[in-house]
Structure 1
């Protein structure tokens, strides 16, 4: 094995799918497998054969994928205490999966052996040895995980090491130490691994950490610094309870900070792409403040920060965002200074320099609007329209004359009916349209599009995909100001818009109008009447 190479073992498809609220299809699992393989992950744990029809189907289908970098692993446990290994159906299911790697776990905590397995300590050692040695006949590699190893070591160090030794003697290719309850801290990890190595378990060690103490990433890195050559984890740290060790932090920390070889160096630029891809398929959003891959990981809001980053990004960034496929964001808010606005204008291709006499007034206007309740960090499309309008660079596509929303529910209706009427003016001509919708906002959106689409057919591509309502000043009760954030998309991109009012319909109307105008600006659409 090459010096300083760390093998990355991904268990997103097994441990990750045990996270609360996650439910993935076989097709989802196959797509994630292909993505992880292209990224350069060394091992992909596909699931537990025989535990459910979905995993069985996955192991059938995954054979048809032309994987270039990853080995597929089937996961299971040691034989049961009351069965011979060749008679245990769970072991036979692992063999039937026909994977090049089989990963099994065995109890390394004496308390678990006695109370959970209800067997004796010597019998458990036999179960480990029998299972590993038997599986070695049917697959290329067997990886053994000492479940609850660190808790077991603290309870009975001699026995915990005997469990590992049994797996090693049986021919296990890797011995993985698991902090299954996630309660072990980095200083304990270091001390125990050093002692384990002194007791003869030295080669091909791995680490499998859970995040219940919020130290899974650092526990994994400490293990590598003390000789571990395999790291288990999940994309974005998804997993049961508090999650698993987050590979989206472990990989860049090992490769970019410590000089270890993990996935190919050039692929680390795809890290955020992989993070977002997996998050979308398992329907668990990536927290904005997640290191390396979160949307806010390289976001600068304070004016002093923004000014410094523009001069030299190293002043407030520990790496170049592009190294992990992320990007720098300079946010505009009530904390913004001149540097934030200049940076944002440059990013949006809006001609504005620091000597422009309108700049102080623009900054003041944005701060006033933020104070009123507008929130531009999540609505950069509305911010761009505001800046263009203030600087006289926003085309006049139409005039808004009036809108009306009716919500009625007759006695015979199961659900209320929403109807919106919109009147707009284009080229001295009025368009007056009405539309029904699944709610007042949907009705407004449909009515406005109906009025505009004959002149601006590209608006048919716009789809509202998210709608959030926030109370700005909670103490005012039902008279409070409402902030509405809308996310829209077309075939190419997504954008956010915002509206604020004491009336939720008016706030929604503002955000909907901004969404459609932004689409026209983005596409460089000419206003009606212009050639």
Structure 2
């Protein structure tokens, strides 16, 4: 049995740019508990008021699987353990388990703490033995253990023995600087297990991209506890990624850990942590990334359609993920058919529409279009080609002006637009005039154009008020052309229920923006109609 110890809320929260609120930490705790994580390190109660509040609030949660762990350093030099404020804060948490870290590298003891090597061993022993009186389990994190072992193997082993004699339940070997390679990990753990007869764990950082493999090697050698974070969050390049370690242990190595059926929750937990970290979910993460089971080349898609094992090492559903078929200039008929099926449209290989759509995509991508991040535009193209969606409006022209009146005044833009609404839609809405000619201002030309378009359409389609643009990206396609280069504009939108991407390409950046904006609104209107057809509700 290998126990999973999650330190997302403490070590992961030290990631640059991340600051979990108390509510965030409690939500993540509940999600980790549902996943079946054995230990959740909630934070360092002696370091800040938020972590102190967490240990009070977490008691109110009805956790079913996880034990909450409090974290701290060993006692300070020159202070009695019962008088050390950090240690006393640990005791006040009344959690079932605690982890204390101590120096196992002689350089850190003498230079970092400014104490003798013998004094450092006393700090470790006194702290662990004192905490053992108050907690069911005490774990010792041997900080910088692998670097310490390389520097002074005899002393590094002594730090483990001091913790063991103090009553530590697990001795966790930490690769704090993340520079240890796999063969070093094997050799060092072999020696440790010969000299220290006690349960060991592993805590690896990823500075040399070895964190996951070092963790798995440690388990192979006999470690019973693996520490890491969701999505590999952590200082510098991060900690060992539990989203890779857990499925590798359970599905690949056949080692008992969290229940296999719980793996289906892994993807959603990974996404939740990204969302609460206020950062994009990394698409290239193994197992839980959007690209983990994405197929782009036509040959791959054709093979996957016959048997997914040909290009997938596991079934994506086992970790809660799903297969994703991409469309691009590399696409074949299989991509189109599979993607259409995913969108609820059945096509046969012999259908003339398949070739027509494929040719359109290849021609558009030759012009610079890119549908991998713009699935909204692809779905529109597909359904318009098959006559499965309406024509919602037609552009009759637009004009965009940008003006800056003085050196110290901000520039502003004004857009004028004219659109025509199909006769049947105007009649359905009871509106006689099908032409809308209007203007709007914005801080920039794209904002002005977006506002003008919405203003022109809102009385026909009130639900477009739900649309929010969440991202706007511009990519220059032929950089060598300088100011004559064609830009590609990619827009991400949401209506609170779904998210979608749309794309536009033109030598004129305003026109490229218009194409992406128009697709964003058409997509929203199309999905509203589909919701209505399925019996759902749709405002407007």
Classify the TM-score, shorter chain: over 0.9
- 1:153 counterpart SS class: helix
Q: State the 1:290 CA deviation.
A: 1.1
Q: For residues 143-179 of structure 1, what are the alpha-carbon distances to aligned partners after superposition, in whole Å with 9 as ceiling and x for unaligned?
A: 1111111111222222211111111111111111111
Distance (Å, rounded) in 2 between the aligned partners of 1:441 and 1:407: 11
Structure 1 residue 260 corresponds to structure 2 residue 255: yes
Q: Residue 245 of structure 1: SS of its match in structure 2?
A: coil
TM-superposed deviation, 1:216: 0.5
Q: What is the aligned partner in structure 1 of residue 430 from structure 2?
A: none
For residue 523 of structure 1, give the secondary structure of its aligned residue in structure 2: helix
Matched, 1:353 2:353: no
Is it true that 1:378 corresponds to 2:373 in the alignment?
Answer: yes
Measure how far apart 1:321 and its partner are. Answer: 0.7
Q: Is the 8 A contact 1:79 1:85 kept in 2?
A: yes
Written as runs of structure 1 = structure 2, the 5 A alignment for 1:410-429 is 410-411=405-406, 414-428=409-423, 429=434
Of 10, 25, 34, the match for 1:29: 25
Q: CA deviation at 1:499?
A: 0.4
SS across alignment from 1:365: helix
Aligned residue number for residue 236 of structure 2: 241
Aligned to 2:200: 205
Q: Distance in 2 between matches of 1:22 and 1:205?
A: 30
Q: Which runs of 5+ in 1 are unaligned?
A: none
Q: State the Cα deviation string for residues 115-157 of structure 1 (Å, max 9, x = none).
A: 1111111111111010001111222221111111111122222
CA distance in 1, matches of 2:449, 2:54: 44
Matched with 2:385 is: 390
Q: 1:436 aligns with which of 428, 435, 441?
A: 441
Which of 113, 125, 131 is the matching residue for 1:129?
Answer: 125
CA distance in 2, matches of 1:387, 1:297: 25
Output the CA distance in 1 between the equivalents of 2:17 and 2:496: 28
Higher mean Cα deviation, 125-134 or 53-62?
53-62
> 2:233 matched to 1:228?
no
Provide the rounded CA distance (Å) in 1 between the counterparts of 2:185 and 2:346: 55
8 Å contact kept, 1:420–1:436: yes
1:87 maps to which residue? 83
Q: Could you give the per-residue CA deviations for residues 395-423 of structure 1, whole angstroms, max 9, x where no partner exists?
A: 11121111222322333974323332221
* Cα deviation, residue 438, structure 1: 4.0
| Partner of residue 139, structure 1 | 135
How far residue 383 of structure 1 moved from its aligned partner, in angstroms, is 0.9
Distance 1:32 1:452 in 2: 41
1:189 to 185, 191, 194: 185
Aligned to 1:344: 339
Name the TM-score, length of structure 2 as normaliser. Answer: 0.93
For 1:414 and 1:130, the matched residues in 2 are separated by: 67
**Per-residue deviation, 1:465:** 1.0
> What does residue 172 of structure 1 align with?
168
Contact 1:164 1:201 in 2 (8 A): no
Contact 2:391-2:422 within 8 A present in 1 as well: no
Residues of 2 paired with 1:485 and 1:520: CA distance? 19
> Match for 2:36 among 19, 36, 40?
40
- For residues 91 and 177 of structure 1, the distance between their equivalents in structure 2, rounded to whole angstroms, comes to 22
Matches within 5 A, 1:489-504: 489-504=494-509
5 Å-filtered alignment, 1:448-527, equals 448-524=453-529
**d(CA) in 2 for partners of 1:55 and 1:410?**
52
1:6 positional shift: 1.2
Q: Which residue of 1 aligns with 2:288?
A: 293
Decide whether the 8 Å contact of 2:146 with 2:173 is kept in 1.
yes
Offset at residue 463 of structure 1 (A):
1.5
Conserved in 1, the CA contact under 8 Å of 2:105 and 2:152?
A: yes
1:400 corresponds in structure 2 to 395
Alpha-carbon separation, structure 1, partners of 2:59 and 2:400: 56
Work out which of the residue numbers 6, 10, 20 in structure 2 matches 1:10.
6
